[in-house]
Amino acid sequence: MNVTHLECAVCGLRHEANTLQNLCRECGKPLLVRYDLKKAAETLTPDSLKCREASLWRYLEVLPVENQDNIVSFGEGWTPLIRAERLAATLGCDIDLYIKDEAQNPTQSFKARGMTAAITMANELGVKKLAVPSAGNAASAMAAYAAEAGMEAHIFMPQDTPRANVIECQQTGANVTLVDGLITDCGKIVAERKEAQGWFDVSTLKEPYRVEGKKTMGYELFEQFGALPDVIIYPTGGGTGLIGMWKAFDEMEQMGWIGSKRPRMVTVQSSTCAPIVRAFKQGERFADEFKNAATVASGLRVPKAIGDFLILDAIRASGGTAIAVDDAELVAAVGQIGAATGIFAAPEGAACLPALRKLIANGAVSPGEKVVLFNTGSGIKYLECFQ
């Protein structure tokens, strides 16, 4: 609608937006969608949103589809922002605590946001076959949206992916292959076979549109608060959600919605798969692959993220940080969050609670601050973790 071009996140090379694109043709890094934000701001204002549909497609002026008839949607987005007073009372610090509950999306995770945008654009650009490597929830979302769009879905997941995700993909018509390895091994298979098979690769940040769906979490926070919070704590595997929100804040500033102040962005990873945490502590812009990655929070088991530099740039620019928590801590936190709020969080989302405790202990979060934890999915997908 208001798209001007695609732009490489590293070298800045301009790419055409009205054709299928994966990574930058020069440096192989992710492409980001750029908009005519002056034009978008003519009709997209905080006041204009008051009477729009309760889905992420309310932000149509800053989403990439040209023809609305091509949108593939189940009503995703506009998830609740829940005040967690009883949970906050257990922390020993008088903060204003909220949980953004992404489990209430279609397919029960935030991955629906990215896939509605990616599959919509694949639909608009004439794609018939899709492929994705996934640790679980992205596969579930891709399978559902591909089914709705009438596209073939080819999914590659580690053998120990939560069983609920595997069954969900099979029952929504996807071709599922379980791989003896990690998500990176699954990604290599997709890369090796996609040209011969005619698949379009919708891997995290290897196409430009999943991040556009995810960025709407940032727009929603602004709408739901009427401002932005002080701290956002986000469980990070591939990091598309954090990258997307950071992009949204920049767009909002350019449209005159907000000033230059940003929330402090906090990445949370498992201590047994923490490439971003390690790179942050070492002062590196890119994160080396984390060897022997293993965690029960399957969405955090991403040993090498292609958008690593974008995650690290956002953390540093915001004055945020990166924290690792143990698997025992994040599994225990599922029950702690549930007992205090009634939310059955995914282990990835629950990891935000022990991370918050560490931030409070070291003085990185202060009394009176507004803090948002992101629950990225439903605990019902991870029953193996609680046996």
DSSP 8-state class, residue 384: G
Give the pLDDT band of residue 188 (cuts 50, 70, 90). Answer: very high
Average pLDDT rounded to a whole number, residues 323-342: 98
Q: What percent of the chain has pLDDT over 90?
A: 96
| pLDDT, the chain, mean | 96
Distance, in Å, from the CA atom of 123 to the CA atom of 174, rounded to the nearest integer, reads: 17
Tell me: pLDDT of 240 over 90: yes
Pick the closest to residue 348 from 276, 296, 277 (CA basis): 296
Give the pLDDT band of residue 1 (cuts 50, 70, 90). Answer: confident
Pick the closest to residue 271 from 294, 289, 288, 287 (CA basis): 294
φ, ψ for residue 144, nearest 5 deg: -65, -45
Tell me: pLDDT of 135 over 90: no
Whether 270 and 295 have beta carbons less than 8 Å apart is answered as yes
Whether 133 and 156 have beta carbons less than 8 Å apart is answered as yes
Written as one string, the DSSP assignment of 167-220 is HHHHHTT-EEEEESS-HHHHHHHHHHHHHHHTPEE--TTTSSSHHHHHTHHHHH
Tell me: pLDDT of 387 over 90: no
What's the pLDDT tens digit per position in 108-117? Answer: 999 999 999 9
Domain 81-109+210-386 has CATH 3.40.30.10: no
Average pLDDT rounded to a whole number, residues 72-78: 98
Tell me: pLDDT of 71 over 90: yes
Give the pLDDT band of residue 90 (cuts 50, 70, 90). Answer: very high
